[in-house]
A = this chain, B = another copy of it.
Amino acid sequence: MKIGFIGLGRMGTAIATNLLKAGFDVTVYNRSAEKIQPLVQLGARPATRIADAAGGDVVITMLANDSAVSSVVLGEGGLIKSLPTGAIHISMSTISVVLADELARAHAGAGQLFISAPVFGRPEAAAAAKLFIVAGGNAETLRVCQPIFDAIGQKTFPIGAEPRIANLIKLSGNFLTASVMEAMGEAIALVGKAGVDRNAYVELITSSIFPAPSYRTYGNLIASSRFQPAAFLAPLGYKDIGLTLAAADSLQVPMPLAGLLRDRFLRLLAHGGENMDWSAIGGLATEDAESRTIVQ
């Protein structure tokens, strides 16, 4: 199967690498071309235009936000214009429900197939081919894509024919993860101010009632106030909570905890946190409780 791959950030590079390792014929494109070289050395073909990556059976996009995806798909020289009839676009980016709908309509109008397949997992999980893939779209098309998913993830969850539902579930998952940061942040602020060793507390909680990776990973970052270098940037977390709230608004679903998270991110960004890991929102409860500065 010939695959085009567009978007070589940390996640995209790791995924494309695993596709090459699995023996796929992969053509890679990235807006800033220097990211292409390492993959070419692993056997990828380089593309200098989007259209050059769109000539195969499948094209995968893994980009930072709605605006980047919109430009690559709907813009001048984008996929709608360049992807052959009957070819498949797999969108792995975390984008809005509204844009997912727009992409689905545009591809259908152009006789192309569209799958929304956002992933759960930090860059390390992507590198280890351990992603979880939430995939929405036509069942037969999903079947065709399964070997791709198998090469990059540990499990695929098909969620039915509507691509946008996959995006909604992905957003809900990021909301759940950010909720862990707030909950652990408040708990750590409480026991920490009482004199408990913060890291020992995280060890206790994650060895007993919350043996889940996110509690361990984010709990330790928060307990240590270690928010740089960032594995996932605060502005991206803010964007995802914003997209969650936008979906909640259009579905008329009040989400007070999501509102609290949005305010935490806004405060973090207003205080200079744009280069911090998104878990820095978990340090704000301690800032509230003590006079020391955590994120500034």
Contact = CB atoms under 8 A, between A and B. Distances in A.
Contact of A291 (B162, B180, B210, B296): B296
Interface string A87-118: 00000000000000000000000000000000
A190 B176 contact: no
A168 B195 CA distance: 11
A190 B263 contact: no
B172 A191 contact: yes
A267 to B, nearest CB: 5
Contacts of A260: 256-257, 259-260
Nearest to A242: B249
A182 interface: yes
B248 A190 contact: yes
A255 interface: yes
Interface in A204-232: 204-205, 207-215
A51 interface: no
Nearest to A200: B159
Interface of A: 120, 132, 134, 155, 157, 159, 162, 165, 168-169, 172-173, 175-177, 179-180, 182-184, 186-187, 189-191, 193-196, 200-201, 204-205, 207-215, 242, 244, 247-249, 251-260, 262-264, 266-267, 269-272, 285, 288-291, 296
- Going nearest first, the 10 A-B pairs with the smallest beta carbon separation are A259-B259, A179-B183, A254-B263, A132-B208, A212-B212, A253-B289, A252-B270, A172-B187, A254-B266, A186-B255
